[in-house]
C-alpha cells in the first residue's frame, strides 16, 4: 500500500497497523518524484532510526527508514519500555493494595489475584494507538520517508533491498536493535517459557507460579510485577541483583533497600545460581526449573508453570558481519567510534545494535549523532556515563557516583541519606512524597530511600540515589546539571525553587551538610542537618563554624558505638552564635579545662556563655557555661610567684581536673615586717627579697648567732628557735593557716606543722610547707570532688 500522497490521521493508522500486523504487504511512504539521492537509509525504525531520520530531515537531508514492522518506534512501544512501564505501574498499585488491605478505603486484598494475562491483553489492545502516533507524526509532522512492514536486506554499504527493490544512499545507518538470547538448556522451547517479547505476543494462560531466569533490569521489573499480581515468583540470578555488569554506579545502600524490599514482598531471590533445565509436565508445558548453586554445585527444583527469561539482550549484528564485514565486539555488538561510524566506510550503527547501555537515550542520541555527522557536522557522542533507573514495585533512579566510588576518589565525602544509616527504617518516614505518603503514615519503613553523595571540599554533587516514585524526571535534569563544567554544587541546588513535597528532599538540606556551614545558625536547621549525618565513634560534641566567627556547639548521640562512623540520633544544641565566642589562641592547650576557663574569665565570658578555642596544634575545644571552681591560694610572698600558687598553676597545666581558677591571696611578708620596728628580724629562710627589710635580717635556716630579733615565722620556726636557742623571741605570725582562719570558699594553703600529709579543714586544704606537685594535685582534686564537669 502506498500512502505517500494520503493525508493520514492517527485513527486511520490504528486500523492500518492492526491490519498490517496480520499481513506481509509493505506500507510505502516514499517521494518517488524526488530525484535526490538519499543521504542515509536507516535500517530499522526504532528509537534510534526514527530520531536519526527526524534530525537528518530537519537538517535538510533526505532519508529513508525501512522497518520490518508496520509502525515506527521499534521495540519501545511494542514490547519494551511502554509495556514495562504499564506492568511497573500495575505492580505499584497492586503492592499498595496489598499493604493497605482492609485499611482506610482499601478492600480486603488477602486473596487478591490480578490477571497477568489480562494486563498483557490490555497492553496489546492499546499499543496500536502509540504505534499510530509514531507513524502519523513521522509522516505528517516530520516529513519522513519510510517503508514499513518490510524487512530490509543490506546489499553493500550504499544499497538496501526491500521487497525486491533496491535503494541507494550515500550512507547506511544500522539500527536493528537486539534480542534476548535464550539460555541453551533443555526445555527452553516448552510452552510457558517467555522472554519480554514473546511474553507479550504469545502468553495464552494465567501463570500460577513463576521462575525468572536472570537478574537483568527486565528480570527484576517483570518479576516484581508477577509477584505483586499474586503469582509467587522466584528470581534465579548468577550475580547479586543489581550487580550485573550492565548496571553501573549502583549504591550498596540503595541496592540493599531495593532487594530487601523485594524479599519483604515475598519474592524468592536466589543469587549465585544458574538454570540447568526446564522440566516438562508431559504435555509440553513447563513443570519446574532445575537450578544449580554455582558455588556448591547442589541442585534444586523449583516447581512453576511459567518461566520468564530475563537474561538481557544481544545485538542483532549477524547479517552485517556477514555482508559488510563490520567489526564487532565480544558480545556481537557493532563497534563504533564517537561519531557512530563502524569499521566500514559510510556505514553507521546505533542503538542496541552497538551494545550496552541498551537504553532509549543512547538509541535516540546515537541516531541523532549519526545524522549530524552524515550532514557534515563533526559531532561526538559519549555514552559512558548516564543516569539510570529501574522498577521493582518502586521507581529506582540514580545518577553519578555511588558512595563507595566517591570514597575511593575523594577524601571528604559527605553523605545525606534518608533514612539515615544505622537508624531503623521504621523510625524515619522519609522520603515521603509522590506515591509514598500513605506508606509514610502507616509503614514508614516502606516510604523509600534517598542518598546524596557530595564532595565536601568543592561542594560538588557527586551522586544521587533514590527509591520511591516521581524522581526519574528530576534525575535526568540533575544528570544534565552535574555534567556542566564544574558540575553543580549543593549551594546552587539550595537556590532552586523547589516544588515541595518533592522526592528529592536533599535539595535544600544538602547545603547544610558539606563542610563549612553556611546554613542558618538556628537550632532547628542545625538539628535537621545533623540528624541526617554520621559521626565518628568518639564524637560527642560538634562545633559548627559559620560565617566569620559565628559558632555553635551541639551535643550528639550516635546510633552505635562500635562502627567507625554511625548515624547521629539526637542533637542537643548547647549554644548558638549569640552566646558563643570563638577565639584563636595558639599558645593555649585546648584540652586543658582550666586553661579554657582562664581565657573565658579573661574575655568576660561568664556562666551563661560558651567559649570555643582554637589553640595549640590548631586543636579546637570549648568550655560551655564556664563556672570553674575558684580556689583561693593563701600564700606568703616573696618568693615570686608565691611558691604554692606556682605549684598549683603547674598542676593545672597537666592534671586531669575540672576547670579550676586560682585566686592568689598574698600574705606580704614585707607588710608583716613593717608592722613592727625591731632591732633585727629573723625570718625562716633566705627567701628572695627579704634581705632589705628596715632592720638587719637573719635567716633561721643559717642558725645565726642569737641577736635581739623579732621573728617573722610560724609555729614550726618557733620550735626550731627553742631548739637552737632555748628561748622564744617576739614573733609575728606568718602561718597562712592561722592568718586565713576558717574559710567558706575553697582554699589552698600550707602549714609548716604538716610534714608528710595533707589535711582538709572544711573547705580548706592544707599541704605541708615543702609540698610537692603530687600533694598539691591531691589537694586540688579533693577540693574539686564535688564539682561536676565534662
Ligand atoms: P529497536 O527499538 O529495537 O528498533 C529496532 C528496529 O529494527 C525494530 O523496529 C525492528 O522491527 C527493526 N528491524 C530489525 N531487523 C530488521 C530488518 N532486517 N529490516 C528492517 N527492520 C528491522 N529503555 C529505556 O530507556 N527506558 C525503559 O523504560 C526501557 N524499558 C525496556 C524494557 C524492556 C523489556 C526492554 C527489553 C528494553 C527496555 N529499554 C528501555 C531499552 C530500549 O527499549 C531500547 O534500548 C531501545 O528500544 C533501542 O532502540 P533501537 O532503535 O536501538 O532498537
Ligand atoms: C518511543 C519511540 S516509544 S521513539 O523513540 O519516539 O521512536
Cα distances from 429 to residues 219, 440, 500, 501, in angstroms, run: 29, 5, 16, 13
Query: Which residues fall within 8 angstroms of residue 713, CB to CB, at 6 or more apart?
Result: 682, 683, 684, 700, 721, 731, 732, 734
pLDDT at res. 788: 52
**Please, are residues 56 and 26 in contact by the beta-carbon 8 Å criterion?**
no
- 307 Cβ below 6 A of ligand 2: no
Nearest C-alpha to atom 5 of ligand 2 is from which residue? 47
- The question of whether 131 is a catalytic residue gets the answer yes
Residues, the chain, total?
Answer: 790
Strands of the sheet containing 680-683, edge to edge, are: 696-699, 680-683, 709-713, 731-733
Q: Does ligand 1 lie within 6 Å of residue 26's CB atom?
A: no
CB 571 within 8 A of CB 530: yes
Distance, CA of 340 to CA of 358 (rounded, Å):
15
The residue whose CB lies within 8 Å of the most ligand 1 atoms, and thus the one to mutate among 45, 46, 182, is 46
pLDDT at 790: 41
Side-chain half-sphere of 277: how many Cα atoms within 13 Å? Answer: 8
Extract the C-alpha cell encoding 228.
505483586
Whether 647 is a known active-site residue: answer no
> Which H, E and C letters describe 554-572, residue by residue?
EEEEECCCCCCEEEEEEEE
Residue 48, ligand 2, Cβ within 6 A:
no
CA 527/CA 570 separation, integer angstroms: 8
Q: Choosing from 131, 466, 505, 624, which is the catalytic residue?
A: 131
**Structure-block grid coordinates of residue 540:** 560527642
Q: What is the pLDDT of residue 518?
A: 63
Task: Count each helix (H run) and each strand (E run) in the chain, helices first.
Answer: 22, 39
Q: To test ligand 1's pocket by mutation, which of 76, 86, 147, 352 has the most ligand atoms within 8 angstroms of CB?
A: 76
As a whole number of angstroms, the distance between CA 462 and CA 397 comes to 14
Task: Confirm whether pTM is higher than 0.85.
Answer: no
Distance 285 CA to ligand 1 centre (A): 29
User: Which ligand gives the minimal distance to the CA of 152?
Assistant: 1
Q: What is the reported pLDDT for 789?
A: 45
Q: What is the mean pLDDT of each run of 10 residues along the chain (790 residues)?
A: 96 96 96 97 98 98 98 98 98 98 97 97 96 97 98 98 98 98 96 98 98 97 98 98 95 97 98 98 98 97 98 96 97 98 98 97 98 98 97 98 95 84 85 92 95 86 95 94 90 83 69 59 89 84 80 92 86 94 88 94 93 82 93 92 94 93 94 92 81 89 94 93 95 93 93 91 92 95 71
Residue 738 parent element (H or E)? helix 736-740
Please state at what angle helix 593-602 crosses helix 643-654, rounded to 10 degrees.
110
Ligand 1 centroid, distance to 173 Cα (angstroms): 15
In a mutational test of the pocket of ligand 2, which residue from 77, 82, 132 has the highest number of ligand atoms less than 8 Å from its CB?
Answer: 77
Q: What pLDDT does 212 receive?
A: 98
Which atom of ligand 1 is closest in space to residue 151's alpha carbon?
Answer: 19
CB proximity list for 671: less than 8 A, separation 6 or greater: none
C-alpha distances (whole Å) from 769 to each of 524, 534, 666, 717, 720 are: 56, 53, 15, 12, 15
- The ligand that comes nearest to the alpha carbon of residue 79 is 1
Determine which one of 56, 76, 450, 748 is catalytic. 76
User: Are the C-beta atoms of 52 and 74 separated by less than 8 Å?
Assistant: no
Amino acid at each position: 500500500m502506498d500512502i505517500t500522497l494520503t493525508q493520514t490521521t492517527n485513527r486511520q493508522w490504528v486500523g492500518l497497523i492492526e491490519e498490517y500486523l496480520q499481513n506481509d504487504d509493505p506500507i510505502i511512504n516514499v517521494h518517488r518524484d524526488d530525484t535526490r539521492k538519499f543521504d542515509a537509509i536507516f535500517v530499522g525504525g526504532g528509537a534510534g532510526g526514527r530520531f536519526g531520520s527526524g534530525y537528518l530531515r530537519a537538517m535538510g537531508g533526505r532519508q529513508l527508514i525501512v522497518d520490518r514492522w508496520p509502525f515506527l518506534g521499534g521495540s519501545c512501544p511494542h514490547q519494551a519500555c511502554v509495556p514495562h512501564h504499564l506492568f511497573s505501574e500495575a505492580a505499584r498499585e497492586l503492592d499498595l493494595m496489598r499493604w493497605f488491605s482492609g485499611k482506610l478505603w482499601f478492600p480486603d486484598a488477602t486473596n487478591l489475584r490480578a490477571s497477568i494475562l489480562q494486563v498483557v491483553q490490555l497492553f496489546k489492545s492499546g499499543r496500536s494507538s502509540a504505534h499510530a502516533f509514531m507513524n502519523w507524526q513521522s509522516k505528517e509532522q516530520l516529513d519522513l520517508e519510510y517503508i514499513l512492514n518490510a524487512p530490509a536486506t543490506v546489499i553493500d554499504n550504499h544499497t538496501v533491498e526491500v521487497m525486491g527493490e533496491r535503494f541507494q544512499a550515500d550512507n547506511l545507518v544500522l539500527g536493528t536493535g537486539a534480542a534476548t538470547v535464550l539460555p541453551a538448556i533443555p526445555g527452553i522451547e516448552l510452552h510457558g517459557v517467555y522472554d519480554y517479547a514473546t511474553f507479550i505476543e504469545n502468553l495464552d494462560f494465567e501463570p500460577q507460579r513463576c521462575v525468572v531466569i536472570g537478574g537483568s533490569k527486565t528480570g527484576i521489573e517483570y518479576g516484581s510485577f508477577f509477584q505483586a499480581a499474586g503469582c509467587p515468583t522466584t528470581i534465579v540470578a548468577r550475580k547479586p541483583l543489581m550487580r550485573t555488569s550492565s548496571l553501573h554506579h549502583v549504591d550498596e545502600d540503595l541496592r540493599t533497600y531495593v532487594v530487601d524490599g523485594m524479599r519483604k514482598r515475598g519474592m524468592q531471590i536466589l543469587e549465585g545460581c544458574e538454570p540447568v533445565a526446564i522440566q516438562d509436565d508431559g504435555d509440553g508445558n513447563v513443570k519446574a526449573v532445575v537450578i544449580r548453586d554455582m558455588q556448591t554445585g547442589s541442585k534444586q527444583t523449583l516447581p512453576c508453570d511459567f518461566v520468564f527469561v530475563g537474561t538481557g539482550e544481544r545485538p542483532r549484528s549477524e547479517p552485517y558481519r556477514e555482508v559488510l564485514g563490520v567489526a564487532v565486539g565480544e558480545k556481537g555488538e557493532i563497534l563504533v567510534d564517537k561519531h557512530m561510524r563502524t569499521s566500514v566506510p559510510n556505514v553507521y550503527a546505533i542503538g542496541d545494535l552497538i551494545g550496552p547501555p541498551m537504553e532509549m537515550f543512547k538509541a535516540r542520541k546515537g541516531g541523532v549523532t549519526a545524522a549530524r555527522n552524515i550532514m557534515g557536522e563533526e559531532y561526538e557522542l559519549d555514552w559512558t556515563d548516564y543516569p539510570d533507573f529501574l522498577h521493582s514495585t518502586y521507581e529506582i533512579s540514580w545518577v553519578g557516583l555511588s558512595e563507595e566510588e566517591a570514597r575511593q576518589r575523594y577524601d571528604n565525602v559527605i553523605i545525606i541519606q534518608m533514612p539515615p544509616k544505622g537508624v531503623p527504617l521504621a523510625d524515619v518516614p522519609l522520603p515521603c512524597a509522590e506515591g509514598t505518603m500513605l506508606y509514610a503514615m502507616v509503614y514508614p519503613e516502606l516510604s523509600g530511600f534517598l542518598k546524596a553523595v557530595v564532595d565536601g571540599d568543592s561542594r560538588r554533587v557527586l551522586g544521587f540515589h533514590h527509591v520511591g516514585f516521581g524522581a526519574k524526571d528530576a534525575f535526568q535534569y540533575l544528570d544534565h546539571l552535574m555534567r556542566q563544567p564544574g558540575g553543580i554544587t549543593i549551594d546552587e541546588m539550595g537556590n532552586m525553587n523547589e516544588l515541595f513535597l518533592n522526592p528529592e528532599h536533599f535539595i535544600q538540606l544538602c547545603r547544610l551538610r558539606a563542610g563549612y556551614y553556611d546554613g542558618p545558625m538556628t537550632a532547628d536547621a542545625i538539628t535537621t542537618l545533623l540528624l541526617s549525618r554520621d559521626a565518628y565513634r568518639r564524637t560527642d560534641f560538634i562545633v559548627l563554624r559559620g560565617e566569620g566567627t559565628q559558632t555553635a556547639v551541639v551535643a550528639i548521640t550516635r546510633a552505635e558505638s562500635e562502627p567507625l562512623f554511625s548515624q547521629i540520633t539526637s542533637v542537643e544544641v548547647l549554644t548558638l552564635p549569640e552566646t558563643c565566642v570563638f577565639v584563636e589562641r595558639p599558645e593555649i592547650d585546648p584540652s586543658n579545662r582550666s586553661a579554657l576557663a582562664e581565657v573565658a574569665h579573661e574575655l568576660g565570658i561568664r556562666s551563661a556563655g560558651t567559649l570555643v578555642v582554637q589553640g595549640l596544634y590548631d586543636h579546637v575545644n570549648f568550655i560551655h557555661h564556664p563556672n570553674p571552681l575558684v580556689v583561693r591560694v593563701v600564700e606568703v610572698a616573696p618568693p615570686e610567684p608565691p611558691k604554692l600558687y606556682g605549684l598549683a598553676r603547674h598542676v593545672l597545666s597537666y592534671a586531669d581536673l575540672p576547670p579550676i581558677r586560682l585566686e592568689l591571696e598574698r600574705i606580704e611578708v614585707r607588710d608583716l615586717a613593717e608592722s613592727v620596728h625591731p632591732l633585727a628580724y629573723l625570718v625562716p629562710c633566705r627567701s628572695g627579697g627579704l634581705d632589705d627589710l628596715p632592720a638587719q635580717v637573719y635567716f633561721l635556716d643559717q642558725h645565726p648567732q642569737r641577736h635581739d630579733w623579732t621573728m617573722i615565722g610560724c609555729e614550726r620556726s618557733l620550735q626550731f628557735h627553742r631548739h637552737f636557742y632555748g628561748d622564744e623571741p617576739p614573733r609575728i605570725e606568718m602561718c597562712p593557716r592561722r592568718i586565713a582562719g576558717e574559710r567558706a570558699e575553697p582554699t589552698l594553703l600550707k602549714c609548716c606543722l604538716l610534714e608528710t600529709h595533707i589535711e582538709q579543714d572544711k573547705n580548706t586544704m592544707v599541704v605541708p610547707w615543702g609540698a610537692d606537685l603530687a600533694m598539691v594535685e591531691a589537694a586540688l582534686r579533693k577540693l574539686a570532688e564535688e564539682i561536676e564537669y565534662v
